[in-house]
Amino acid sequence: GAVVSQHPSWVICKSGTSVKIECRSLDFQATTMFWYRQFPKKSLMLMATSNEGSKATYEQGVEKDKFLINHASLTLSTLTVTSAHPEDSSFYICSAMGGRPLHFGNGTRLTVT
């Protein structure tokens, strides 16, 4: 069964609103979680690395005020897309690591209208 749960699996929102995506490790404690973005026909792009209890480390070119990441517990990390715009429409995937191979969530399809 799935060891990393990502929710929601898809969401449609209006431009200017904020959307929160959750990533949970179901049967292990994830000290580190990663957030990726997948553009159509492109690879996964690492957005940020999230360590429990500390600030996320963002990759170059990723706006930290736009993509807020919180890793408040060892089983939950959230990504909030603030003031979403149509260009933020994408597929977002999280992965979690904690003493075992990296496991990925099923992804969230975000569509901003």
Site for another protein contains 107 (CB under 8 A): yes
Quick one: which of 6, 25, 77, 90 contacts another protein (CB under 8 A)? 6
Strand ranges for 1-113 from DSSP E: 4-7, 10-13, 19-25, 32-38, 44-51, 57-58, 67-73, 76-81, 90-97, 103-104, 108-112
The SS3 call for residue 20 is: strand
Residue closer to another protein (CB basis): 74 or 82:
74
Query: Minimum CB separation from another protein for residue 86, in Å?
Result: 23
Give the binding site for another protein (CB under 8 A). Answer: 4, 6, 32, 34, 36, 41-44, 46, 49, 57, 93, 95, 97, 101-102, 104-107
